[in-house]
Amino acid sequence: MAERSRLLVNSLAKPTQLEVSASQLDGIPKALEDSVRFAGCRLLQATAVTLNLPQDVAAQCIIVFNRFWLGSEGGSLRDYAVRVSIRPEMGIRHGIDCADDGTSDSVQDVAAASLSLVTKLSAVSQSARRILSVLNALSSEASTFSRVEETGGLRERASHHLPDTVYEELRSRMHRQEVILLRTIGFSIHAAVPHALCLSYLQTLGVFAHQNGQTLAKRTVAHLNGALLSPQTLFLTHQPNALAVAAIYLSAREVEVKLPELEWWKVFDVDRDELGFLVVTMQSLEAWVQAQRYTWRDGTIPLDVEGVVLESRRRSSALG
């Protein structure tokens, strides 16, 4: 029983890890870092849908991905790429090799490594070629803000094999990055997620007897998936039970399903202050994403080292 309970909780980020990241110490503005990490999480979500991965596996990939960038000892966007860029005429695009600013040209692929590591330990293991092909198709064809269903023919394009030379190089980089990722996060691959938990809570609350019960359940899962994209990295700072309760509370208000008048969240070991913070943060995500759309209306969010460094320099120059 104790072992089962342990699997329902996560090792959360320490306050010191939330103060400053390695990217910020390397001169990457926090706003840019948030944008890049958001784009990386969105890319992982879209890739998981294309690969037909279960929601809990997709969530675990994003949690592991975010753990890598956490704190001053985490990975820096100046050294590691969320996604390796590929030019058809040149193959793999390296980072800027500038001795004067220390930018590394040994670009890795953190998104691919996160997917590979998590799926290896799941019931839906994916081949390296499949992961890299889908990531390449998505990152080259789809906007950060596109829905997967809007990228017509994506699965067909993703089924096309990468050229062998490009694939071998990408696979080698992915495997090297897996080692770096594991070392950086202290081999903390276990990630409990709230998706199944929230359905159990909804049953306990008797929600499915309501005519809008199914709508509430879908809305709850949608809020949990949205929370994975939050710049506050909610899945690294709050346990699954709290995330599930907050998503249920917010969804019930939105679809007008009446929940027990008593403080029912206490039954699931969540206090009012934590619930209030999570509800407000989940509500604010849509406005934040809209602001991102506006910020990047004339371009795309960079996912490689070169793009991040150039955008960081551009912002520094703009500030004078």
Chain segment 216-270, per-residue pLDDT in tens: 999 999 999 999 999 999 999 999 999 999 999 999 999 999 999 899 999 999 9
Confidence label for 6 from pLDDT (cuts 50, 70 and 90): low
Average pLDDT over residues 34-44: 94
Q: What is the mean pLDDT of residues 69-79?
A: 95
DSSP E strand boundaries for 14-168: 85-87, 91-93
SS3 103: strand
Residue 28 DSSP one-character state? -
pLDDT-above-90 percentage for the chain: 71
Question: What's residue 156's pLDDT?
Answer: 53
**Is the pLDDT reported for residue 198 higher than 80?**
yes
pLDDT at res. 145: 57
Of residues 64 and 1, the one with the higher pLDDT is 64
Using DSSP bridges, classify how beta strands 91-93 and 85-87 pair: parallel, antiparallel or unpaired: antiparallel
Grade residue 163 by pLDDT with cuts at 50, 70 and 90: confident
Name 92's bridge partners.
86
Q: Return the pLDDT at 100.
A: 38
Average pLDDT of the chain to the nearest whole number: 86
Asked which of 110-114, 155-159, 166-170, 190-194 is least confident by mean pLDDT, the reply is 155-159
What pLDDT does 101 receive? 38
The pLDDT of residue 288 is 97
Q: Which of 77-81, 147-151, 218-222, 258-262 has the highest mean pLDDT?
A: 218-222
Cα(308)–Cα(77) distance, integer angstroms: 7
Q: Considering Cα of 261, then 266, then 271, then 276, what sign does the dihedral take?
A: negative
Band of pLDDT at residue 148, cut at 50, 70 and 90: very low
d(CA 309, CA 279): 34
Please tell me the predicted confidence (pLDDT) of residue 298. Answer: 87
In this prediction, residue 7 has a pLDDT band, given cuts at 50, 70 and 90, of low
